[in-house]
A and B are shown apart, each in its own frame.
Chain A
Amino acid sequence: LTDVDDERVVETPVADDHGQPDRCPFPRPFTAEFAGCPAFQPVAFVAADSLNKPLGSELTCRHLVVGGGGNGHSSRFYARCVLGGSAGRMHWLAVVGRERVEVMRSLQEEFDEQTREQREELFAAKVALLAAPDVVAAGADLDRAMAGFLAATRAVLDEREERFADVGLPVAPLMRLVEDWAQAWTRSRDLDLPQLGSELMRALGRSPVADGEAGHAALVGRPVTTARRVELTRVRPDPAPPPLVVGTLRVERSDDPPGLRLAGEVDAANVEALAELLSQAALAGGELHVDIAEVLFCDLGGLRALVRALQESPHCRMVVHGMPGHLRRALHIAGWAELPGLALADEAMRP
């Protein structure tokens, strides 16, 4: 792979991450139009000053937590992305599915819009209660505001029942989660305003949407360092070559089984470079494994590159791992579903 003579193929650039690979590299606070990060999941929150006066609404991301401050490389705090670095975010997207992520994002935004008024009332009622001499009256106001918020939330969920189901979130348990949160919040001194995001997140962690162990780990935010890759480097006398990055596509070579592991997106911006890599790999003959389980998007040109590499190398047998349903359908529509020498494997490629 490293001897491919092509200007489009460059090695992974090392970003200046201050020794914190999971530092969020995007400018914050986010604007409503922010589209820089494909894993971005906006959550609106109302900031308050020390006197509990609202300072206005800002957008943060559901994946951000406060990092640092401990005994790591730096004692300074930073915005830590629970998905890890760029590769971790891509992995999360591949596991959850980009289209699902977009539906979740839209549902979150619609929830924020449809319940903004009720959440503002809730905030005001809670502030009043915390400062109130007459706790009973203020408590009644808060209860009323909470009832209004829960009714608005229920309406949002019911109107969108099928869309919530589409992303693996049956609305009945989701509503129960919101109600549990509401009870706890009403009693606490906490001012953080209700957000659907955290509830979605928790529910997703338990739902069948998270395909297996890896998905669960990614969703609950464990850093996505795959143990197998670490092990490979340790066992091998020669460290594995660094992955090649061509625009939004990352290609890793595997010697056993012989093949390529792709992650990211394949389109007109990088398909020629990919076609070259595939053709070279196929020329060796024998079995070639291509793992596309972490490919977020692949256009017809990418599928054509697979088919062409196979057809040009009569002694090659290609096993494609982890092809998602919509790509199988595209392969079928394009007329390439039943090619001699091409096998589709559901399971991921062995390390």
Chain B
Amino acid sequence: MSDLVPPSLRPDERAMLAEYWHFFEPHADAINVELLRVLETMPNWAPMIRAMKPEDMAAQNKRSTARTRAALVDNDWTEYLADLHQQGKGYAKSGISFAAWFEILAAYRDAVRHRIVALAREDMTRATMVSDGMNRHLDIAMGFLGEAYLETKEEIIREQQEAIREISTPVLQVRDRLLIMPVVGLVDTHRARFLTEGLLRAIRDRRARGVVMDITGVPIVDSKVANHLAQACEAARLMGAVVVMTGISSEIAQTLVAIGAQLRGVRMVGDLQGGIEEIDRLLEHPREDDDPLDEVES
């Protein structure tokens, strides 16, 4: 958990938060009941509300009241923020949308507003202060909740990326000294690096002489990706392996020509089977144009 830094509040903000709490606390139970009634009609929240036992909910409300009082009145935010953080994480993991939280906010504002309006008839100054305090309170709460929510979502994304990276760059041995590497999914700079390193390690460890890199599963090949793939092929060649690239779809071929990508020094064959046959041929009978000296230097 990251360090939760309490909000820095001006004295007038602290006063309005405390004023809001002193107004709210006597109404707390009534407001909670009203809030529950509304939430029970909302598809996002009704199942969760129904799943809770009334006595658990009462206990939870009591703890929440104590924490909120400590924060708003005594300016001690530690427990309150820790709880918000926990909740934000929980909602992110259980897949509740962020927007659903604003439904609760709207219901809460409704429940409090008509009481503030009643107060305004007697004491306009205090009512303004209470309503300012409520808004400040909700802003702080949503800020911290949102941060925890995003943090957790980002963490999930990182974990998934890691998982995808690991499963998506297998290097398979077809037979003695011949490898195939099916590349599936988007190739970015980071993944290209990972993929190339994996390929080079496999060439050394399994003493490969030929590699077929099949990119049927790569949906987008732009000039950057093309460059990455060409670099991987060149690195493999430096280690003495013959590389053939296969599986370039007609759409990708058109894109490559349209953007002027060169893929210089990369041998291409239509499909995987053709690629394996081509490597057999290259390893068995080196062609005249296989001799690198005949390559035109620019």
Interaction A to B: no
